[in-house]
Amino acid sequence: MEKDRLLLCTVLVIFSIPGIWTNTDEASFHDLEGKAFVFPKPSADSYVLLKPKLDQNLRQLTLCLRFFTDLTRGFSLFSAASRDHDNEILLFRNPHDFEMWVGGEYVSFSLSPLLEIFHLRSELVCTTWDSATGIIQLWLDGQRLPRRGAMKGYEVKTDLVVMLGQDQDSYGGKLDVKQSFVGEISEVYLWDKVLPAEELTDFQTPITPNPKVNWTLLKFEIRGYVQTELL
Ligand SMILES: *[C@@H]1O[C@H](CO)[C@@H](O)[C@H](O)[C@H]1NC(C)=O
C-alpha cells in the first residue's frame, strides 16, 4: 500500500511539472522543411517544446533559427531551462540588442542603428558558445557581431526543458505574456559543437552532421495556440 501511495505521489509530482515528461510518446519526428511555426497571439501558455537528445553536458553549442515578427518589445526566441538555471541557454531579442545566456550569465549584442534601418523581413540568427574560451558569437544574417564571452569552463546541463516562443522563469514554467513571441519561427538547429565560420556566413542548408535539433527531423510538441504553416 505504502509503495502504491509513493508511486502515485511521484507520478503526480512528475506530471504537475508542465509539459516536461508528459506525452513523450506523442512527440514524433517531422520534416518541417518549407514550414514555420506561427505564434499568432501573445500568450503565457503557447509554445513549442523541443526534445533534443543530449547524452552528455555541452561544452560547445551552436544554435540557429530564423524569425519573423513585427513586435516592438523584447521577446524570447529559444529558452532552455535546467534545474540549476532558468536561463541555461536563452536567446532573447530586445528592440536594440540580442541577449545570449549560458548557465545563468548573459552577454548582450547591440544592434547598430545602421543595421536596423527598418524594413520588415525575417532574420536568421546563429549563436555559438565554447566552454574552453567562453567565447560567444552572434551571427545575424551571415554577419558576425563583435564577440563576447561568458561562463568559461562551464558545462551546459542536459536536463533541459527547451521551448520556442516563451521565456521560462522557472524550470518548465513561469511564462510571461510580455516576453512571449508573436510571429514566425523556422529553421531551428542546435549542435553540440561550434560551427565553422564558413558555414555560419552562408547558412543555407546546414552541413555539419548530427545536429541535436534538426529542422528537417524535428521532435516537438505544440502546447496552446501555435500552428505549423507553409512558408
Ligand atoms: C537532418 O535530418 C535529415 C533527415 O534525416 C538529414 O537528411 C539531414 O542530413 C540532417 N541534417 C544534418 C545537418 O545533419
Query: pLDDT (tens digit, 9 = 90+) per residue, 53-108?
Result: 899 999 999 999 999 999 999 999 999 999 999 999 999 999 999 999 999 999 99
Whether the predicted pLDDT of 24 surpasses 80: no
Only one residue has cell 545536429, namely 211
Q: What is the mean pLDDT of the chain?
A: 89
Distance between CA atoms of residues 87 and 108, nearest Å: 14
Q: Is the CB of 219 under 6 A from ligand 1?
A: no
Mutational pocket test of ligand 1: of 62, 203, 204, 216, the residue with most ligand atoms within 8 Å of the beta carbon: 216
Q: What is each CA distance from 107 to 99, 129, 130, 222, in whole angstroms?
A: 6, 11, 14, 29
For atom 7 of ligand 1, the residue with the nearest CA is 216
Burial class (CB in 10 A: 0-12, 13-18, 19+), 64: buried
Q: What is the number of helices (H) and of strands (E) in the chain?
A: 2, 16
pLDDT band at residue 115, thresholds of 50, 70 and 90? low
Distances (CA, A) of 216 to 31, 37, 110, 219, 223: 4, 13, 31, 10, 20
* Beta-sheet strands, E only, within 150-204: 161-164, 183-191
For the cut 80, the answer to whether the pLDDT of residue 5 exceeds it is no
Q: Comparing C-alpha atoms, which of 72, 94, 81, 17 is closest to residue 183?
A: 72
Atom of ligand 1 nearest to the CA of 215: 1
CA of 213 to the centre of ligand 1 (A): 10
Q: Determine the average pLDDT of the residues in 155-183.
A: 95
Which ligand 1 atom minimizes the distance to the CA of 205? 13
Count CB neighbours of 106 within 10 A: 18
- Ligand 1 neighbourhood includes 115 CB (under 6 angstroms): no
Nearest ligand 1 atom, CA 31: 4
